[in-house]
Structure 1
């Protein structure tokens, strides 16, 4: 045990006793006006530290280290002697075994057996181990001919039936942690000097080992082998696997009482010094440290309160006073930093909740405010009205006059509506051309007046200054809680959607206030249950499932891949796309839906719902195809690319909105291993333009083009169109094949793949027979 062990226990005990006790009282001896210079802590501690180090380390450590070195030298000498002793014993044992084997090989009976091995078995049983050359440690003896084969096989023999005659000598084996020595020596004719054969012996090495050697440094009973099985070891290799204990060193044993006595004396000295020095040091240090601790507690209770350092009482120890001053300076800087950070956080929060183009609140702010309105509605009788504003034909204006003019229209309309709303009423931009405001405590009649004022102000706005020749109009939908207060307030959103839907229709006013009869006329599209179910599924993935429809090879009718089609399960029934997408587009939830479709399709691949060695295609909407996040989301398909062909289907509309961004993302996806399919070809704008400009591999003819095969006048046009696209390197897929006659005609036109009810309706479960081994290559490069 080191001397410091004796010192730590009493030192720590007395130190903490001193700190936990109240030793007198300290009074400030100078006034607040005169701040005395603090004394150096070293003046109080130098003498004590010096005496402590001199007495303890000189008397204790040096003594102990000298004894430790002496003990180490004894042990080191013992280990070297033991290693030499064990090596010598092993060498002697190997030499004895070899000598016994050489003498046995010179025995005349051995040469006789080589001359005539007829009675070798008898000789082995009755003579081989019963002669003057064989001792108790010999386990087995065998004679081998000149080719190294044993003269006759013996069932009980421990030696091999064939030996290597090129390298006679010895080899060490280990069997069940017991070392055995195998010695092979040639049997030489004493007259001719020629080798007649070979003799091999197998002996217990440790038995020879113990019979020869007397160990002075090693405990004979502790010798053991650390391995259980081994072959072909040398003596040096065996030494690495021998373990043993050293015998006790009488010199070291004699020194230990002296060391113990010295350490006890040193410990007694340390205890006496500790009892004297540390209470005195604790009395000097305890009071200022307690004062500093109380000040830290005060800072923790008032973290944002600045400290006037000139009013703080000084500490008489220089180092502690410096700590106190630094602590207060740091506290003041930290308090200032917190104040600045709070201001920056408020600025960031404002930026996060405002639309950067128009300056009004954004969709994120609307959702947060809508949750607050829900809480108000539960505990208040105030009327709540939701007003939606939608710019008529904004996309056409944007395409005609350019994005810059479109931005100017949005800014002008936002400013105009904001000028009419009261200060406590916020305007929100929900999507590209849709705005909303929430009125609280205003009657339906007053809300209608505000809507009319907004409509009139926008109608009279001088948009011609922006270079716009046609009038810019808006449609307004209103919904309030006066219709049915018992209904959930979330119903206002779908009610306002219904109202603005009719405001856009011919024969209705541009401002429509929701009435129950409007919902009856649009029950299939805007029912409250459908709206809630779709919104829940699209935003959270609840109830959203994927159905799959096969795309088949028109030559053999076998599925090549499957198109993922979205459905929503609600109350045990399916909500179809005709009810899903209008609400998704109205609420600008395209991206949310697409990302959930990606997650669901990946999950189905993981569960094995889609047959291996086929493929799957997913539809990506226009707003999502230009998002950088899309590439990150689709990376989840990478583990399946070896067993599945993966396609991304985009419509012409998706390519028109932001052509360059769409092209960049699609090229990235192609490099990742996806194929790109142009969906609904022929239903949109200038379709042929995108075949050359965009990275498209597969062209899917819209159902309207597929049905032209029955029209002779248009059949020729369809034929030439299909031929031109095929020759350009694209694969053709025909949608909407519902009869065998259409399938036959489409095949003749050069289409390779087809899709439609004739081959199967979309289903959640895919038949096992849908899998095929000869998966097609959908790349345009093939």
Structure 2
């Protein structure tokens, strides 16, 4: 006899039992995992609390040392050491006044130069300064205190201390006051049992015990999960029971009717009444077809969405003008890669187009846009396959060279410089070839801060813009940062106000003398700014103006200051004045107007415009035209710092120059290096034969004066003849 298959009801009961067993197994598994999570959280909490405690100890010790140094630099401390008559009153009242120092500082003592207390009356610190220690931990009557010492020096100098200051700090109170703990229970901080005596501060971590803070959810979650599991099991049981009733009531009968109808069709019997209503064949086909149609429509919608997303991504991450990636893409790539950290080196290559503003002004913005496009194309072509070029804005581009050391970064940058410099500018309708300045900042670790690297690359590029040829690629090194730090707020504010308003500009003048007679022939105008606190020199003025793009305003202020002195008669008639200019600003309309106004003084004074050889060579065609116009007005042009570059001799015959000023490096070489002395002699002879007046700068000794007088220079300048000063005659 054929065995009868189980019915729908039997399967429903089996599914009910299977569901209950499965739910019970899952519940046990979840409880086991919950216990494991509790243990893991406890271990992580203890580790986090330990790390937080160690950092708190380090920070508290550092703050105590800083507080000691702060009090050591207090004028009142030095006064007490010098005259300790009222020391105990000062110590017990003034020095520990409420609110003057942190509450956890429980005492202060001063020691003389020999390390002895000024007064042992009610002293809270050792009578003698411990040798070789800046601090110690003292356990007294169950209290843990830090004794911190610092030397007191005259006016904050670096000489031998005139005495010492000692602080008594309640270490546990300081830890609770200074730090807001996240993983550690601050109230549990306590001195370990059995600890006594004096200890080194490095032992503080071993002397204090604590408990980690227990998160609120750790105590609530287990009971909550257990209650939730019971509720889920009850709900599941109810749902399974309902499902059993649903299956037996709604599906079993329709299936039996369908079975009877199919059996009747097989046996030729008519359909059971109502059976047709229980066989939704047509509807199933329609549902299935609708699902297929929906799936095709969804796939089409997904394709359209992908295309739209790709277009939007390109608009958000690609510069529309140059095709290079934009600043948003740079930030995103850096943010995605840098958190991975690691020891892989990287380099930032910052590229800037030289004289881009002049190109825009001279040839129009359309040509300027084409220049940016070609620079981006050429630079990207010289990068490695995995490197990306980003446009930060304006004419500034940057590339992240992942895995590149200093040597490889320099090779890539040099390839970019050469490729851009070799571009055929005739295609753009330009005469001057394209030039770029490239600054590189390299790091041995890819996780180094982006802001720091970008600042270093920007500083290197700033130095590159002052160079020529291969000097247009500069790798950052620590020496570049010397003297380039932020000036004091007073200097910055004074310089900015003076450059923009002209207030405080005071031109000083250094004589340029006839070599034969030693009498002043004319004077070089040197910028100074005067305020209530003294005189600010060019070493402080120029970095502020250059970093803020105020070179044009600075040159304008200098011109107006010289013109005012000429009108006031501070520069004697029959002499003259020589004025230094930034080559990038000399074509600005306001500056050209002021230069043209100098022509009214050419009958009574010798007016000289000084341009550096680097500026003149880098913009040779343009500067030749502009300076030729000024010479036609009767003004003279001097080539300053001759010999500081390396390519001047190529252009010397074509330069619109009347005077050549030898760089002080040539003066020093002549006196120190016999091998190069002949070169200096030949340079001077060549300049004289070319019809140039030759000025020797940096003459400081009588021997130098005699040497260069014999060499035939026409004029000399230096401290041997006078320092820059403000003329008093008006």
Q: What TM-score results when the alignment is normalised by the length of structure 2?
A: 0.38
Give the number of the structure whose alpha-carbon radius of gyration is greater.
1
Q: What TM-score results when the alignment is normalised by the length of structure 1?
A: 0.36
